[in-house]
Chain A
Amino acid sequence: MTTTESSDEFTPTTSDEARDFLAENSAGAGRAIFPVGGRTALHYGYAPTQPGFAFSTLRLNRTIDYPARDMTITVEAGIRMDELTEILKAEGQRLPIDVPQSSRATLGGVLATNTSGPRRFGFGTMRDYLIGITSIDAAGKTFSAGGRVVKNVAGYDLCKLMIGSLGTLAVITQVTLKVIPQPEMSQLLWCAAADWQAVEVALENLLTSATRPVALEVLNAAAAHEIAAEARLDLPSSGPILCIGFEGAARETEWQAETMSVELEAAGICDVAVVADAESLWFALTDFATSSDEPLTFQANLRPSRLVEFSELATSAGVSLAAHAGNGIVIGHLPDEVTTLDAAVELLSPLQALAHEADGNLVIFDCDESWKQTIPVFGQARQDRALMQRIKQQLDPRDILNPGRVFTKNAMSAAQ
Chain B
Amino acid sequence: MPETATISTIPAQALQALRRIVGETSVLSAHEQVLVYECDGFVIEKNTPDCVVFPETTEHVVAIVKLCNEYKIPFVPRGAGTSLAGGCLPVGGGVMIALTRMRGIHDVNLRDHYAVVGPGTVNVHLTQHLKGTGFHYAPDPSSQGACTIGGNVATNSGGPHTLKYGVTVNHVLGAEVVLPDGEVVQFGGYTEDNPGFDLTGLFVGSEGTFGVCTKVIVRLTRDPVAYRTMLGVFETVEDATQAISGIIGAGIVPAALELMDQGIIEAVEPAFHFGFPLDAGAVLLIEVDGLEVAVDGEAAQIVELCEQNNAREVRKADSPQQRDLLWKCRKKAFGAIGRLSPSYCTQDGVVPRTKLPEILKFITEASARHDIRIVNVFHAGDGNIHPILLFDERDAEQVKRVLLASDEILNRCIELGGSVTGEHGIGVEKINFMNKLFTEADLETMEAVRIAFNPTGLCSPQKMLPTAGACGMEHIEKSHPARRAAL
Which A residues have a C-beta under 8 Å from some C-beta of B?
67, 69-72, 92-93, 114, 116, 124-125, 127-128, 137, 141-145, 147-161, 163-165, 180-182, 204, 207-208, 210-212, 248-249, 251-252, 255-256, 299, 301-305, 327-329, 358-361, 363, 378-379, 382-385, 387-388, 390-391, 393-395, 406
Contacts and interface: CB of A to CB of B under 8 A. Distances in A.
Contact of B384 (A92, A147, A151, A299): A151
Interface stretch (B139-147, B229-237, B438-446, B475-483): B438-446
B185 A211 contact: no
Given A148-B352, A305-B112, A153 B253 contact: no
A204 B191 contact: no
Contact of B294 (A252, A302, A327): A252
A67 B351 CA distance: 13
Interface string B251-262: 111000000000
A384 to B, nearest CB: 5
A363 B191 CA distance: 14
A70 B354 contact: yes
A210 B134 CA distance: 11
Contacts of B294: 248-249, 251-252
Interface string B131-174: 00010000000000000000000011010001000110110000
B133 to A, nearest CB: 10
A299 B193 contact: yes
Given A67-B354, A149-B418, A252 B112 contact: no
B202 A157 contact: yes
Interface stretch (B33-41, B309-317, B424-432): B424-432
A165 B197 CA distance: 6
A415 B276 CA distance: 63
B190 interface: yes
Contact of A143 (B205, B352, B437, B441): B441
Contact of A252 (B179, B251, B252, B291): B291
Max count, chain B CB within 10 A of own CB: residue among A72, A328, A406: A328
A156 B446 contact: yes
A387 B199 CA distance: 9
Given A70-B352, A301-B194, A329-B192, A154 B383 contact: no
A154 B444 contact: no
B341 to A, nearest CB: 27
Contact of B434 (A155, A358, A378): A155
A301 B426 CA distance: 35
A391 B112 contact: no
Nearest to B198: A160
Contacts of A114: 193, 198
Contact of A141 (B162, B249, B441, B446): B441
Nearest to B187: A384
A143 B438 CA distance: 9
B186 interface: yes
Given A149-B350, A156-B464, A212-B222, A181 B251 contact: yes
Interface in B178-231: 179, 185-187, 189-202, 204-206, 222, 225
A156 B450 contact: yes
B158 to A, nearest CB: 6
Contacts of B451: 394
Nearest to B349: A149
Contact of A128 (B166, B205, B354): B166
Contact of A152 (B200, B201, B222, B421): B421
B383 A150 contact: yes
B109 to A, nearest CB: 8
Contacts of A165: 197
Contacts of A363: 195
Contacts of A125: 192-193
B79 to A, nearest CB: 16
Nearest to A329: B193
Contact of B253 (A142, A159, A164, A180): A180
B464 A255 contact: no
Given A69-B249, A69-B354, 10 more contacts: A144-B438, A149-B351, A151-B382, A152-B419, A153-B421, A155-B446, A207-B110, A327-B192, A384-B199, A387-B199
A153 B449 contact: no
A161 B201 contact: yes
B453 A141 contact: no
Contacts of A390: 452-453
Contact of B169 (A69, A157, A164): A157
B185 to A, nearest CB: 5
Interface in B291-305: 291, 293-294, 297-298
A83 to B, nearest CB: 22
Contacts of A181: 251-253
Interface string B450-461: 111100000000
Interface in B395-425: 417-425
B111 interface: yes
B248 interface: yes
A156 B452 contact: no
A143 B444 contact: yes
Q: Which of B134, B201, B439 has the most CB of A within 10 A?
A: B201
Task: Name the residue in A114, A150, A385, A393 with the highest tally of chain B Cβ atoms < 10 Å from its Cβ.
Answer: A150
B103 interface: no
Contacts of B421: 152-154
Nearest to A114: B193
9 contacts: A127-B201, A128-B166, A147-B417, A154-B419, A156-B446, A160-B198, A161-B198, A382-B195, A388-B199
Contacts of A385: 196
Given A155-B442, A156-B464, A384-B187, A149 B198 contact: no
Contacts of B453: 387, 390
A395 B445 contact: yes
Max chain A Cβ within 10 angstroms of own Cβ: one of B169, B190, B204 = B190
B373 interface: no
B379 interface: yes
A92 B200 CA distance: 33
B248 A158 contact: no
